[in-house]
Chain A
Amino acid sequence: MPAVVELWVYLAATPLFGLTATLGVYVFTSLLYERLDRAPWANPVLWSVLALASLLGATGTPYPTYFSGAQFIHFLLGPAVVALAWPLWQRRAELCTRAGALLLAALAGGAAASGSALAIGWALGLPREVIASLVPKSVTAPVAMGIAEQLGGIPALAAVFAVLTGLVGAVSAKALLDAVHVHRPEVRGFALGTASHGIGAARALQVHADAGAYAALALGLQVLLAALLLPLAAHLF
């Protein structure tokens, strides 16, 4: 085996590869995103995922090998969710006076997302277990997987739908909300967090601090509402 290939085989099998590749690709796509004035279509999550998936495909690297390095980044999702308490704490007085409106909007948005997924899926003749995996897609992936399982869906498919929903929302929110003349950052952030969970909230946090805080609140409310109400609703109907 030539020395270069041997070196590559060695490097690709260590956690160093997955971690370095993820950071390297993300830094590059983020620089482009900044360069492009944070255009929604230049979303760094979207392009990093596509670039890394192509890299893994081209080099024949299995996902578990990649994840042995990338898991260090993945692990930080947990503490990052806890850290969302900070922007909420900073706006606690304002959020408390608006609690009723926010709760109603979260309920309405969540019900509309799940209900329309159910209705459209049914109208298009999708199988029952696929629809059950679509219903919780506006909730962050680990919760969506658990709910889909309770509803008789496929957890892995629910995770795919959740991530795709996050990306679709993050990329299209600007055009959609501009079209209906919703301009207030807190309303835009809240809508992004409601429909597109963490990936939507990440986009909101990049663009405006208020939008980010309201997106964080919306994603938390969706997790609470969906985990408590969706299995209950499925039980009733």
Chain B
Amino acid sequence: MQALTGFTLLLLCQSVGELLARAAGLPLPGPVLGLLLMAALLRWPVVRAPVEAAAQPLLGHLSLLFVPVGVGVIGHLGLIGQYGVRMMLALVLSTWIGMLVAALVLRALLPRDAEPPRVV
């Protein structure tokens, strides 16, 4: 029951987010506005346990949710066509550069503490 209540709250926040995005013509997707709404809603203690119960299974299997889109992408790989190698080179290198810059800037800015074990 907790999880069902929580799932309803997630859908409600997403719906309000979609409405806001459309009504105000914001360039943001409804779920992202829904995330901000949910963060505000969590100030209210009664919603916390249900939201946690619904969020855990969804986030634990977040990977699964990207599979249908990914399968669709394979069908569009033809778009890459004649520029394939150069496109992949630009894509891979810029992904690494973005990741490195984010990591090094954040590491430089955060206060130092004990190095935890290696992950991710």
Contacts and interface: CB of A to CB of B under 8 A. Distances in A.
Interface of A: 18, 22-23, 25-26, 30, 43-46, 48-50, 52-53, 56, 63, 66-67, 70-71, 73-74, 76-89, 98, 100-102, 104-106, 108-114, 116-117, 120-121, 124-127, 130, 134, 137-138, 140-143, 146-147, 154, 156-157, 159-161, 163-169, 172-174, 176-178, 180, 182-192, 194-196, 198-199, 201-208, 211-212, 218, 220, 223-224, 227-228, 231
16 contacts: A23-B64, A45-B67, A77-B69, A86-B51, A86-B52, A98-B110, A105-B106, A105-B109, A112-B97, A159-B73, A160-B76, A177-B103, A183-B116, A189-B120, A190-B106, A227-B28
Nearest to B34: A82
B78 to A, nearest CB: 10
Nearest to B17: A82
A125 B119 contact: no
B59 interface: yes
Contact of B94 (A26, A120, A177): A120
A85 B106 contact: no
Contacts of A25: 67
A45 B80 CA distance: 21
B97 to A, nearest CB: 4
Interface of B: 7, 10-11, 13-14, 17, 27-32, 34-39, 41-42, 48, 51-52, 54-56, 58-60, 62-77, 79-80, 83, 86-107, 109-110, 115-120
Contact of B99 (A125, A177, A183, A228): A177
Among B28, B39, B91, chain A packs the most CB atoms within 10 A around the CB of B91
Contacts, number: 330
Interface of B is mostly: helix
A198 B119 contact: no
A234 to B, nearest CB: 13
A163 B52 contact: no
